[in-house]
Amino acid sequence: MFRKQSLAEKREQRWAYIMIAPTIIGLLILNYYPLVDTIRLSFSKTQTFGKSTFCGLQNYIDMFSTPEFWKATWNTIWFCVLTVPVGIAIALLVALLLNAKVKFKSGFRAIYFLPMVVAPAAIAMVWRWMFNGQYGIINTILGRQVNWLTDPSTALLACAVVAIWSAVGYDAVLLLSGLQNISKSYYEAADIDGASKVRQFFAITLPMISPTLFVTLIMRMMASLKVYDLIYMMIDTTNPVLPKVQSLMYLFYREAFVAGNKGYAAAICIWTILLIGIVTIVQFIGQKKWVNYDV
């Protein structure tokens, strides 16, 4: 039997709905409606003045039969492979160093986090100068001439280096928060048992920060699969290497806002969402074997 609500409880419930209404409305307007409209648009052919006609699966058929689409998919996956493992490993190393007893610790944290607050356009401008094949500082250090941004074999690698550099500080701060939540008593007990620092890292540190590591991995994986702005700013539209290194999101931008083929672009967007969903599901299934929540 359900108890009849009092007038005060009804008033409190009404105010609760009023308080959460802006968030719910924002989610519906800014998230769910665009997603539903993108799905609808992916089954349509766009015409002039924003009109569209239903075309069934034609956009998906055209997409899956285009070599350029599969090249963009491979570039996106390869960019993710290049940036995520190396970036997470470097971020973990930086977090371990920042968690140690060193002088000027707060200053080092600010220095590593600084790339996250710098405008992406400024970062791309500096790194483009550093990767310049004729007078770049990297070639000067190496003592050889490498066309980093105009050679298909190195252009995506150069973008990956910039992505790792710009994100490692943010990831390190997240992992540092996990390290600081580990009780010192675990390490004191390990020292008494004679465990080495390497043994302590694999037996204590890594299992204890695995939830934070898992969240960082998810965030970095999703960001890598959605890469667009970095490639857009690092590789000029006049650069002949661009078609060989463009990502799915760059292809989406080109089809939607340059070619005006919004139906085809929407299909690319839906494919990217599915790709991110598949990767995320695999990660959530796999995390049962290595993420330790029993702290």
**Which residue matches tokens 């609500």?**
5
pLDDT by residue (tens digit) across 13-40? 888 889 999 999 998 888 889 899 999 9
CA–CA distance, 83 with 89 (Å, rounded to integer): 10
pLDDT by residue (tens digit) across 88-147? 999 999 999 888 877 777 777 778 778 878 888 888 889 999 998 888 899 998 888 889
Q: Average pLDDT, stretch 47-65? A: 86
CA–CA distance, 68 with 240 (Å, rounded to integer): 14
Q: What is the pLDDT of residue 121?
A: 83
CA–CA distance, 126 with 237 (Å, rounded to integer): 18
Q: What is the pLDDT of residue 58?
A: 93
pTM assigned to the model: 0.87
Q: Average pLDDT, stretch 256-267? A: 90
Roughly what angle, to the nearest 10 degrees, separates helices 262-286 and 210-225?
Answer: 160
- Shortest CA distance to 85 belongs to which of 180, 148, 167, 203? 167
The mean pLDDT of the chain is 88
Q: Quickly state the pLDDT bin for 3 (edges 50, 70, 90).
A: low
CA–CA distance, 75 with 185 (Å, rounded to integer): 46
Q: What percent of the chain has pLDDT over 70?
A: 97
